[in-house]
Structure 1
Amino acid sequence: MILYVLFVCSFAVATAEFVLVGLLPQVAADLGVSVPAAGQLVTAYMIVVTVGGPVAAVLTRRLPRRELLAATMALATVSAVASAMATSYPMLLTARLGSALAQALFMAVASQVAMAAVPPERQTVAVARVFGGFALATVLGLPVGSLIGEAYGWPVTFVVVAGMAAVGLLGVIVFCPRIAAPPPAGVRDSVGALTRPAILAGLGVTLLALTGFVAAFTYVAPMLRDVTGLSPGWVSIGLVGYGLGTIAGNLLAGRVRPDSITRRLPLAVGALALILLAQPLLLPVAPLALVGLALLGAATFVVVPLVQTWLMGQVDAATTGLVAAVNISVAGAAGALGAALGGAVLTVGLGPAWIGPVAAVSVLAATAVAAGIARASAPTTGRTSAALLRQ
């Protein structure tokens, strides 16, 4: 039951993040600021998620996980209520920063709880369930939240988000087993674990793979509109297809056993690279463009849970939360780099169709790193290479 509770919590936290994107014009008008100024709410949110996650993980490393998870969802609930009640830009900014801190801490703590609550062979399923809430938020939370905001006003959207977060909080209180705080570890030991070659390699896969993905996905609307020639309605359908693809990819990732991750990860990252390389061939044909977008979401959401599960399995219990938080922070950095990369492709005049192939260079590098992890982890390579990777 706790995995379903974490799924609900994840969906609520992710919807709180995504939903503002569809409400920016209304928020700007109601608060008397420009749309770009309202957009800075999104930027500030991502900065807190990227920087605040590791810091919060270190500061809370000695706290029991059940109580910390409940406190995190309480913060998410209160922050959503505060967003709904905000009557000025500073008030909304403060509330959004609270939501961002809740999300940053949630992903680390929820991954720890999920892995501790199941047998070792089901840990990938558990982590995938956490990320599944984010996948569903892209296909359901964002559009439904936008529709509610258009019909009843953007504060009502945040009331709904608060309600979902409160349901998740109640579920944590009722169903989350007691999970002791990890064994004490000093800050130096915890941070030192991040410098091990295995951890750096896993973080490198996240950085390189998601940089390529975000570069393409950020500009998916111009691609479908200008290259494929789709109407706005069909672009929306394409985004729904992408969301369904993320759900399918998440379910597929959950079928990979933890001891098989290193063998499957290069295939998943390589598939993502191939999809990006094929964009100039897929985009001119509408059905292929829509299928390609769904496959893009599927491949990405296979990679993300696999890397998170593998990274957390490479460190001791005292460091799993920090590693999980840092991986999420690296994903946030990849988002910024990917958006800049896609914009650079357009700036030099290559056109939207070529964002995919350029982005694929980063993902191919991630494939090489993932293949290196697989070789070092393979039993046939003997104890020496595996030991070197763990040092």
Structure 2
Amino acid sequence: MSPTIFALFLVVFGFTTGEFVVAGILPDVAADLGVSIPAVGLLTTAYAIGMIVGGPVLTVMTARTPRRRLVVGLVAVSVLGNVGSALAPNHLVLLMARFASGLVVATFFAVAIATAVAVAPAGRQASAVAQVTLGLNLGLVLGTPLGTVIGQQLGWRATFMAVAAITLAAVPLVLTYVPAAPGTTGSVLAELRVLADRDVQLAIALSAVGNVGVVTVFTYIAPLLTGVSGFAGEALPVLLLVYGAGAVIGNVVGGRLADRALLPSLVGLLAALAAVLALFWLVGGVPAAAAVLTFAIGVLAFAVIPGMQTRVVAMATAAPTLAVAVNASGYQLAAAFAGWLGGQVIAGPGMRAVPLVGALLTVAGLALALHLLLRDRRTAAARVV
């Protein structure tokens, strides 16, 4: 991993910990603020909406800002948002702080992915993306379980303060290793035109539809493992570590598979993910099976990410940063929907049905991936003729 990639990866680690640690401290936040678990699940929705709004808007507004200066500014906003989350006196203020924290994430992620692809050797773009998104994995492997332990021992507010400190610690590396590249020199209108491209639209849709099912499950993973699988609350950090370990493996494998055969690998991975989520619905009440399936879900959920991100960059060569930012917003649109949908499922059929709903949603993503694969093959065949 080059120093540039490592600096970007570390910021992703801090951002990811801040986003997903809510899953581990969700019951503690609900108890402390006197609100329901579905209400706390909306913290994921608020963060996601921040990304949805901030992604395209901030990326366009900062298109001409030098990349290093932009990254430092985005990190500063994230730090302030996490400090605000730690100090929030009630659920409403906490929702607002999570929204503010999410505003900068999509733009940063877009800059990081576009930079990784730009500096990667030919034929290794997906692997470079996987190295940056390794920060997502370690945010789960280390950040989320550690944040859960901090929350259980020192209170959930201490968790958000720790996230702020971790993110701030990445700034010296950014200043040292992220290239002082200029922003775009083209017009905003030229950047926006990329979003009218049908291939770009479909690539972004694949990220949103393909991930909504597993995000729904992960948003409520803590009450699923305690309320359905029967684990004690003290086991959650270990189980999140298991999930995160799977995510690290999935990220590496997914990057390599995407470098070899992008869409065929996504089709296979989404099919496997749908099957594993359905299996969790069937046998999730057995603790041993739930632990194994938690690992498998982590593997597959993150194996699809490098290929999806690389597909967007490949389809949007005219404005990859904006396209990746919008793609991140699309992913978070799925997350926002997931937070709401999971709450509706819990209030209706019950917690046990959440993995089944996740499996059905993943099948929709599989159908879209198959459509894109067949579409590409038709296009390639037409060119030969």
Q: TM-score, normalised by structure 1?
A: 0.83
Q: Identify the range of structure 1 (373-382 vs 63-72) with the bigger mean alpha-carbon deviation.
A: 373-382
Percent of residue pairs bearing the same amino acid type: 34
Q: Identify the range of structure 1 (91-100 vs 127-136) with the bigger mean alpha-carbon deviation.
A: 91-100
Match of 1:282 in 2: 283
1:160-207: CA deviation from partner (whole Å, max 9, x where unpaired): 3333223311111111123332341333x4333223221222222222
Match of 1:48 in 2: 50
1:28-52: CA deviation from partner (whole Å, max 9, x where unpaired): 999xx65468876654433212211
Structure 1 residues 24 and 260, CA gap change in structure 2 (3 angstroms): closer
Whole-Å Cα distance in 1 between the matches of residues 45 and 228 of structure 2? 29
Give the residue type in structure 2 aligned to 1:267.
Answer: G
- Matched-pair contact (CA < 8 Å) for 1:258–1:310: no
Give the CA deviation at 1:62.
Answer: 2.0
Give the CA deviation at 1:55.
Answer: 0.6
1:38-72: CA deviation from partner (whole Å, max 9, x where unpaired): 87665443321221111111111122223222322
1:261-292: CA deviation from partner (whole Å, max 9, x where unpaired): 12211111111112123234432443222211
Give the residue type in structure 1 aligned to 2:133.
Answer: F
Match of 1:272 in 2: 273
CA RMSD of aligned residues (A): 3.3
Whole-Å Cα distance in 1 between the matches of residues 296 and 27 of structure 2? 31
- Matched-pair contact (CA < 8 Å) for 1:376–1:385: no
Whole-Å Cα distance in 1 between the matches of residues 261 and 54 of structure 2? 32
185, 188, 191: which is aligned to 1:186? Answer: 188
Structure 1 residues 284 and 126, CA gap change in structure 2 (3 angstroms): same
SS in 1 for 2:196: coil
Mapping of 1:354-365 within 5 angstroms? 354-365=353-364
- Matched-pair contact (CA < 8 Å) for 1:116–1:179: no
1:220-265: CA deviation from partner (whole Å, max 9, x where unpaired): 4454445444443445533321121111111212323546212211
- Matched-pair contact (CA < 8 Å) for 2:24–2:222: no
Give the residue type in structure 2 aligned to 1:288.
Answer: A
Match of 1:389 in 2: none
Mapping of 1:207-356 within 5 angstroms? 207-258=208-259, 260-317=261-318, 319-349=319-349, 351-356=350-355
Give the CA deviation at 1:23.
Answer: 5.7
SS in 2 for 1:62: coil
Structure 1 residues 234 and 159, CA gap change in structure 2 (3 angstroms): closer
Match of 1:374 in 2: 373
SS in 2 for 1:271: helix
1:64-92: CA deviation from partner (whole Å, max 9, x where unpaired): 223222322233345445656x4756987
Match of 1:169 in 2: 171
- Matched-pair contact (CA < 8 Å) for 2:258–2:306: no
Give the CA deviation at 1:314.
Answer: 0.9
Give the residue type in structure 2 aligned to 1:74.
Answer: A
Q: Identify the range of structure 1 (104-113 vs 223-232) with the bigger mean alpha-carbon deviation.
A: 223-232
Whole-Å Cα distance in 1 between the matches of residues 31 and 269 of structure 2? 43
SS in 2 for 1:254: helix
Give the residue type in structure 1 aligned to 2:328.
Answer: I
**If you compute each CA radius of gyration, which structure gives the higher value, 1 or 2?**
1
Give the residue type in structure 2 aligned to 1:382.
Answer: A
- Matched-pair contact (CA < 8 Å) for 1:190–1:322: yes
Structure 1 residues 273 and 29, CA gap change in structure 2 (3 angstroms): closer
- Paired residues, what number? 380
- Matched-pair contact (CA < 8 Å) for 2:195–2:201: yes
Whole-Å Cα distance in 1 between the matches of residues 77 and 353 of structure 2? 42
Give the CA deviation at 1:24.
Answer: 6.9
Give the CA deviation at 1:300.
Answer: 1.1
- Matched-pair contact (CA < 8 Å) for 1:377–1:385: no
137, 147, 165: which is aligned to 2:149? Answer: 147
Q: TM-score, normalised by structure 2?
A: 0.84
- Matched-pair contact (CA < 8 Å) for 1:311–1:324: yes
SS in 1 for 2:374: helix
Give the residue type in structure 2 aligned to 1:277.
Answer: A
Whole-Å Cα distance in 2 between the matches of residues 278 and 301 of structure 1? 18
Whole-Å Cα distance in 1 between the matches of residues 62 and 310 of structure 2? 21
Mapping of 1:71-86 within 5 angstroms? 71-80=73-82, 86=87
Give structure 1 stretches of 5+ with no counterpart.
387-391
Q: Identify the range of structure 1 (287-296 vs 211-220) with the bigger mean alpha-carbon deviation.
A: 211-220
1:136-165: CA deviation from partner (whole Å, max 9, x where unpaired): 222321232243345455565444333322
Give the CA deviation at 1:122.
Answer: 2.2
- Matched-pair contact (CA < 8 Å) for 1:210–1:338: no
SS in 2 for 1:163: helix
Give structure 2 stretches of 5+ with no counterpart.
none
Structure 1 residues 44 and 197, CA gap change in structure 2 (3 angstroms): same
